[in-house]
Amino acid sequence: MSATLTEPDAAPRTPTTRPPRPPKGSSAGARKKKPLPWAPWALLGPSIALLIVMVVYPTIVMFITSFTNLEIKNKMLGTAPDFVGFDNYLEIFTDSQFPQVLARSLGLMVVLTVLIVVFGMLIGLTLTKLSKAWRLAVSIALLFAWAMPPLAATVVWGWMFDTDYGVVNWALNTITGTQDWRGHGWLENPWSFMMVLVIIVTWQSIPFAAITFYAGLGQVPDEVIEASSLDGASAWQRFRLIILPYMRNVITAVLVLETIWNLRIFTQVYSLQQQGGLASETNVLPTYLFRQGIGEFGTTAAIGVFMMILLMSISYFNVRNSLKDEEEL
């Protein structure tokens, strides 16, 4: 330890660089070789039991179920289902709906993620340029959009886009000075349904991205920005060549998280469908699965396994990112 105590003085450092990690591991290793080998396991016990029962076990059960023809009647009669191999998977991929739902989910995910990251970055940059009072006002406003429960938000937005009395139709009529938008049903057409959905989800997700990017922008050293502008770099060049490289990790983290969340949206889609969307034309993966209902557990398990593999393979990047942050686990 004594060697490391002098470390911080050895070289001046900026707040963004960390000193080399003190060789704490060696002393920790010695210190941690203590009795009570059972103690950590006793402390972890409740969590391990919970996660095994509620996450690991159902995952395995779902995986097995996806290869059987388990149905509700098996449960009621207490009979065992048969193994059917890959039949369920074949069925969902040849089913007329599923591939379409998958494509819609992926398309929606791409659109949402791009919009959220682009606008998030734009607003994050805006925050850095604003005066203190304006910055506070914008942050609080963003916070409201962020804090609103997704279901309540969707109900309110759905009402704003209401066919007869929605404020959007009223505003469009007032702006255009016509009655063209009177009785315009936004949710009836699948494409305009998706547009409304994109507005709702983006509205609610931008604050997280914007505030995260803003915090990340604070880590870009002033000196480098200043030097580059003295060298004649334009605003766009400064952004592309200086800020982006510094922000790479933050952007990757937000991209991965948004990709996952945008594939998992259920509440907004379901609630909007309740308010007038045609479910069969607007389903995404989670709502499609939900609307399969209780009955054919084999098929729904196969859809679940597919969703899980898809999402977990994207999550791999998130797990890796999080672990990278932990130099010493």
Footprint (CB under 8 A) of other proteins, residues 268-287: 270-271, 274-275, 286
Q: How far is CA 18 from CA 21, 59, 160, 166, 327, in A?
A: 8, 40, 50, 54, 12
Residue 231 makes contact with other proteins by CB under 8 A: no
Of the two residues 89 and 246, which places its CB atom closer to other proteins in the complex?
246
Q: Which of 186, 210, 193 is nearest to 258 (CA)?
A: 210
Phi then psi for residue 83, to 5 deg, are -80, 135
Going by the DSSP 8-state scheme, the letter that residue 206 receives in this structure is H
Q: Note whether 86 and 67 are within 8 A (CB).
A: yes
Those residues whose C-beta lies under 8 Å from the C-beta of residue 59, and which sit 6 or more positions away, are: 308
Of the two residues 194 and 243, which places its CB atom closer to other proteins in the complex?
243
Residue 264 makes contact with other proteins by CB under 8 A: yes
Residue 304 makes contact with other proteins by CB under 8 A: yes
Residue 181 makes contact with other proteins by CB under 8 A: no
Residue 61 makes contact with other proteins by CB under 8 A: yes
Site string for other proteins, 8-27 (x = CB under 8 A): --------x-x---------
Phi then psi for residue 71, to 5 deg, are -130, 175
CA torsion sign for 222, 223, 224, 225 is: positive
Minimum separation from the CB atom of position 275 to other proteins (A): 7
Residue 318 makes contact with other proteins by CB under 8 A: yes
Question: How is residue 239 written in tokens?
Answer: 């952004």
Distance in angstroms (rounded) separating the CA atoms of residues 149 and 145: 9
Residue 188 makes contact with other proteins by CB under 8 A: no
Question: How is residue 177 written in tokens?
Answer: 């000075």
Minimum separation from the CB atom of position 192 to other proteins (A): 18
Instruction: Scan residues 125-164 and list those touching other proteins (CB under 8 A).
Output: 126-132, 134-135, 137-138, 141-153, 155-157, 159-160, 162, 164
Of the two residues 97 and 252, which places its CB atom closer to other proteins in the complex?
252
Pick from 58, 85, 99, 107: which binds other proteins (CB under 8 A)? 58
Return the amino acid letter for 324: K
Residue 123 CB neighbour total at 10 angstroms = 18
Question: How is residue 129 written in tokens?
Answer: 């340029």
Minimum separation from the CB atom of position 290 to other proteins (A): 7
Minimum separation from the CB atom of position 74 to other proteins (A): 11
Pick from 8, 13, 43, 278: which binds other proteins (CB under 8 A)? 43
Q: Note whether 194 and 107 are within 8 A (CB).
A: no
Minimum separation from the CB atom of position 250 to other proteins (A): 5
Identify the H or E element spanning 33: none
Residue 227 makes contact with other proteins by CB under 8 A: no
Of the two residues 219 and 280, which places its CB atom closer to other proteins in the complex?
219
